[in-house]
Amino acid sequence: MSILNNDILLLISEHIFVQKDKISLLLVCREWYSLFLPKVYHRVHLEREQIFPLVRSIQANPRIGPSIRDLQVEWSSRHNSEQHAGIEIDEVLKTLGTSDSDQSLDEWKEDLRFGCPDSWLVALVLLVPFVKRMDMDTHFSYYFFPMLGRLLKGAFGRVVPLQHLEIARVWTEESKTHYMAKELLPFFSLPAMREFIGSGICESENDNDEEPVFTVFGPGTSTITKINFGGYHRNNGCKGFTDFIHSCAKLEIFDYQHDNKAIWGYSHLDIRPLLFYKALCSHKGTLRELRLNNQGENDPMRDGEENDGRWDGFGSLAEFHQLRELQIPARILLQFDTTDQPGVSLVEVLPSSLEYLNLAYCGEKDFEVVIENLRTLLAQREQFPNIKKLEVKPVMMEKIEGPWSEFRVPASTQERFAPIGSICHGLGIEFGFNMRGNHRFRG
């Protein structure tokens, strides 16, 4: 019997970070086992070869599955593990409660027996009913996302997984790999979802390239309020991620950073801002933060298509009455045309609610237009009473000599914007330069 009360023991366990050491707590005595089991399995990080052992452990001790709230899974290949035959397979199929015998399910059953971690991940999500966050680097997934779509449609009977999931993160660090966007739509149908985070997500220009694995649900049905496509490996939304955006009932935050590479070695497409704008117009009354390619790839690259301006337009944000933060390339917001002339002014397209504006990727040839627009904006402060911070992100940077890869805003750029800085200072507005994201450097 412990002489310390349970609250103190739980506080002490917060400072044990190695999972193996946490599991050791369960072996001390029955009292500690009961006390620490929910804590030990609250957050679980799995490599590919650990997925099946966890499923086996949950089947042996059903208390483990409901204890898992944060599930992190990653692997870098689709190699099989050791062969698994016997009661485990039968128990999983029993959990599914299905007599489905179509070819795709038969193949899945066979890969269960041969230990494919992707197949066992499908089984795992059926056994963690209260998981709230899933973090997945599973770009070699063959079964998981299609099977998840089928599970959520009730194709396998009584068990519907992930009903308490609030945050899903699907990502990859591999520049040559990607996820097809439509395979991820099932996450937007989950009843408790609040945030979806994705990197390496690709929309296909050709609808036939993406076999529908999930019936597109009606607009305004998803509980997701934050979509973050601004991860380490950026995305290519050649359709503006319209299905994702339209599905949300009340989208509050949207972050998209672009990668011209749609599918490595197959398709390269630059950003199409007009499609994003049209989709986001369905959230004029709720959108609070918009970051549209303020750090992503900004160099035009088209696969043989003429730049006829079909995708280059944007639109006014003046009616987005909840918008507080806007980070966007200056040329997109001001709708520069092929003659390098802006189509609109800042005072025409910005909402009065705006507090923070970052004009990204300002080239030297754009400085005059940007400076004049900022000057006009500041002169009409009564129209924009909430402005607290203005930033400019120059395209061109200057390397600093030394052993580290450091850079700074060129002195000439600072001089050009010095008058704007002075006006901001007098109005109590913060002004500065943003240096995050892609840059070019002077030779």
Q: What is the CA radius of gyration of the chain?
A: 26
Record the tokens describing residue 245, joined without a space.
């955006």
Within 227-353, where are the H helices? 242-247, 273-280, 330-333, 346-349
- Burial (CB < 10 A; 0-12, 13-18, 19+), residue 347, is middle
Token pair 């979802």 is at which residue?
Answer: 193
Task: Give dist(CA 407, CA 401) in Å, integer.
Answer: 9
**β-bridge pairing 179-180 and 167-170:** unpaired
**What's the pLDDT at 115?**
77
Distance CA 297, CA 353 (A): 28
Please report, for residues 165, 249, 253, 287, 289, the alpha-carbon distance to residue 284 in angstroms, rounded to integers and kept in the order given. Answer: 27, 12, 12, 6, 11
Taking alpha carbons only, the member of 424, 430, 421, 367 closest to residue 393 is: 367
Strands 406-408 and 396-400, sheet pairing: antiparallel
Helix (H) or strand (E) holding 414, with range, is helix 411-427
Q: Give the pair of three-digit tokens for residue 40.
A: 């030990």
- What does the alpha-carbon distance between residue 209 and residue 409 come to, in Å, rounded to a whole number? 43
The pLDDT assigned to 389 comes to 98
Closest CA to 103 of 66, 69, 146, 63: 146
**For residue 123, what pLDDT is reported?**
87
SS3 156: coil
Residues 58-84: b if buried by 16+ CB within 10 A, e if exposed: bbeeeebbebbbebebbbeebebbeeb
- At 396, which helix (H) or strand (E)? strand 396-400
pTM comes to 0.88
Could you tell me which residues are beta bridge partners of residue 168? 134, 196
Nearest-angstrom CA–CA distance, 121 and 99 = 20
Cα within 13 Å of Cα(65), Cβ side? 19
pLDDT of the residue at 337: 80
pLDDT by residue, tens only, the chain of 443 residues: 456 556 655 565 564 555 665 665 554 566 665 556 666 788 888 888 888 888 888 888 888 999 999 999 987 555 555 555 555 677 677 766 655 555 667 777 788 877 788 888 988 998 999 999 999 987 667 778 888 888 887 766 667 889 999 999 998 877 777 888 999 999 999 999 999 999 989 998 776 555 555 555 678 899 999 999 986 667 989 899 999 999 999 999 999 999 887 666 556 788 899 999 999 999 999 999 999 999 888 766 544 444 455 556 899 999 999 999 999 999 999 998 877 889 999 999 999 999 999 999 999 999 999 999 999 999 999 999 999 999 999 998 887 776 666 778 999 999 999 999 999 999 999 999 998 766 665 65
Rounded to whole angstroms, the Cα distance separating 207 from 210 reads 6
What is the C-alpha to C-alpha distance for residues 225 and 245, in angstroms, rounded to an integer?
10
Cα distance between residue 349 and residue 335, in whole Å: 10
DSSP string, 109-131: HHHHHTT-HHHHHHHHHTT-TT-
Hey, what amino acid is at 401? E
* Strand intervals (E) in 29-159: 43-47, 70-74, 133-137
Distance of CA 433 to the CA centre of its chain: 26
Select from 413, 418, 419, 404 the least CA-distant residue to 435: 413
State residue 137's pLDDT score: 87
Tokens standing for residue 82: 């050791």
What φ, ψ does residue 381 adopt, rounded to 5°?
-60, -30
For residues 126 and 198, give the distance between their C-alpha atoms in angstroms, rounded to a whole number.
Answer: 23
First to last CA, the chain: 71
Element (H, E) at 67: helix 64-67
Task: Give residue 351's pLDDT.
Answer: 98
